Chains A and B, each alone.
Chain A
Amino acid sequence: MSTGSYHPSTIFIREAVTILKEMGFDLFEGPEVDNEWYNFDAINMPDDHPARDMQDTFWLTDGKLLRTQTSNCQIRYGKKHKPPFAVMVPGKTYRNEATDARHENSFIQIEGLYVDKNVSVGHLKFTLEHFFKKMFGNDAKTRFRPSFFPFVEPGFEVDVYHQGEWLELLGAGMVHPKVISNMGIDPKKYSGFAFGMGVERMLMIKYGIDDIRDFRSGDLRFLKQFS
Chain B
Amino acid sequence: MKVLKSWLQDYLKFNTSNEELAEKLSLCSFPVDSIETDIDKNIVVAKILAIKEHPDADKLRLVKIDDGENSYEIVCGASNIEVGQLVPFARPGSRVGDHTIKEAEIRGVKSQGMLCSELELRIGDDHTGILILDNKFKLGRAVGELLDSDAIFDLDITPNRGDCLSHFGVAREISALYSRSIVRPPIKLSMSGKQITDKVSLKVNDITACPQYMARLIEGVKIAESPDWIKKRLDLVGISSINNVVDITNYILLDLGHPLHAFDADKIDGDTVVVRRAKSKENIESIDHKQRKLAQDNLVIADAKGPIAIAGIIGGVRSEITNSTTDVIIEAAEFDRRVIRKSSKLLGLATEASHRFERGIDPGGVEYALNKAVKLISEIAGGKISFGILKHGEKGQSIEIDINYAGINKLLGTNLSAHDIDSILRRIGCEIKEGRAIVPLYRSDISIWQDLAEEVGRIFGYQNIDMKKVTTKRVKNENIFFKFKEMLKDILIENGFSENLSYSFIRNDEIGIYHFAKSNLLKVSNSCEKEDLYLRPSLIPLLLKTISKNQSFDRISVFELGSAFLKNREKFNLAALCCGKDADRILDKSLQALLKKTRSGTLTKITELDQRTKDMLKIRKRKCFYFELCVDDLNSNSRLAKSEIKYKVKFPDIKFRTVSKYPSVVRDMAFIVNKNIKVRDVEKTIYSLSQNIQMVELFDEFPSDKFGKGNKNIAFHIYLQDLKSTMKFEESDKIITAIRKTVTKIYKAKPRDF
Contact = CB atoms under 8 A, between A and B. Distances in A.
Nearest to B560: A7
A23 B470 contact: yes
Given A48-B342, A96-B526, A123-B470, A7 B500 contact: yes
B528 A96 contact: yes
Interface in A50-69: 50-51, 53-54, 56-62, 64, 66
A222 B553 CA distance: 13
B341 A48 contact: yes
A161 interface: no
Interface string B637-663: 000000000011101001011110000
A57 B694 CA distance: 38
B358 interface: yes
Contacts of A86: 470, 472
Given A145-B462, A153-B454, A224-B695, 16 more contacts: A1-B496, A1-B701, A4-B496, A50-B359, A60-B522, A86-B472, A120-B410, A123-B468, A145-B31, A146-B30, A147-B31, A156-B462, A176-B450, A218-B500, A218-B558, A223-B558
A167 interface: no
Contacts of A92: 504, 562-563
A225 B450 contact: no
B465 A25 contact: no
A114 B524 contact: no
Given A50-B341, A121-B462, A177-B450, A226 B698 contact: no
B159 A122 contact: no
B410 A225 contact: no
A213 B694 CA distance: 18
B448 interface: yes
Please give me the 3 A-B residue pairs with the lowest Cβ-Cβ distance, nearest first.
Answer: A122-B413, A24-B472, A120-B413
Interface in B503-532: 503-504, 522-528
A215 to B, nearest CB: 6
A7 B501 contact: yes
A94 B28 CA distance: 31
B472 A51 contact: no
B466 A122 contact: yes
B535 A145 contact: no
Given A208-B656, A219-B659, A4 B458 contact: no
A98 B498 CA distance: 28
Contact of B453 (A106, A154, A218): A154
Interface in A23-74: 23-29, 31-33, 48, 50-51, 53-54, 56-62, 64, 66
A138 interface: no
A58 B472 CA distance: 37
A210 interface: yes
B656 A207 contact: yes
B500 A174 contact: no
A154 B457 contact: yes
A50 B27 CA distance: 24
B664 interface: yes
B528 A98 contact: yes
Interface in A100-144: 105-106, 114, 116, 118, 120-123, 125-127, 129, 143-144
A4 B494 contact: yes
Contacts of A26: 475, 478-479
A10 B499 CA distance: 9
A174 B358 CA distance: 25
A18 B647 CA distance: 11
Contacts of A153: 448, 450-451, 453-454
Given A60-B524, A106-B504, A125-B467, A154 B458 contact: yes
B699 interface: yes
A48 to B, nearest CB: 4
A4 B498 CA distance: 5
A216 interface: yes
Interface stretch (B145-153, B543-551, B728-736): B543-551
B649 A14 contact: yes
Contact of A174 (B158, B411, B466, B492): B411
Interface of A: 1-7, 9-11, 14-15, 17-18, 21, 23-29, 31-33, 48, 50-51, 53-54, 56-62, 64, 66, 84, 86, 92, 94, 96-98, 105-106, 114, 116, 118, 120-123, 125-127, 129, 143-148, 153-157, 174, 176-177, 191, 207-210, 214-227
A98 B565 CA distance: 23
Contacts of B565: 32-33
Contacts of A145: 26-27, 31, 462
16 contacts: A4-B557, A6-B651, A14-B649, A17-B482, A24-B472, A29-B481, A59-B524, A86-B470, A114-B472, A122-B412, A126-B467, A129-B467, A154-B458, A176-B450, A220-B553, A225-B656
Contacts of A28: 479
Contacts of B556: 220
Contacts of A177: 448, 450
Contact of B550 (A98, A209, A219): A219
B494 A1 contact: no
A60 B534 CA distance: 9
Given A59-B524, A225-B656, A48 B338 contact: yes
B98 interface: no
B168 interface: no
A27 B479 contact: yes
B618 to A, nearest CB: 14
Contacts of A48: 338, 341-342
Contacts of B549: 217-219
A148 B463 contact: no
A190 to B, nearest CB: 11
B404 to A, nearest CB: 10
A10 B450 CA distance: 37
A224 B448 CA distance: 52
Contact of A225 (B159, B479, B504, B654): B654
B699 A6 contact: no
A27 B604 CA distance: 29
Nearest to B493: A4
Nearest to A62: B522
B69 to A, nearest CB: 17
Given A2-B697, A145-B26, A157-B31, A121 B412 contact: yes
A66 B410 CA distance: 36
Nearest to A31: B570
A114 to B, nearest CB: 7
Given A4-B498, A207-B656, A220-B498, A146 B454 contact: yes
Given A21-B475, A121-B411, A122-B465, A221 B719 contact: yes
A152 B457 CA distance: 14
A130 B341 CA distance: 42
Interface in B447-487: 448, 450-451, 453-454, 457-458, 462-463, 465-470, 472-475, 478-479, 481-482, 486
Interface string B314-357: 00000000000000000000000010011000000000000000
B443 to A, nearest CB: 13
B704 interface: no
B524 A220 contact: no
Contacts of A61: 522-525
Interface in B16-75: 26-31
Nearest to A94: B504
B128 interface: no
A121 B160 contact: no
A60 to B, nearest CB: 5
Contacts of B280: none
A219 B658 CA distance: 12
Given A10-B489, A92-B504, A223-B498, A15 B651 contact: yes
A28 B562 CA distance: 15
B495 interface: yes
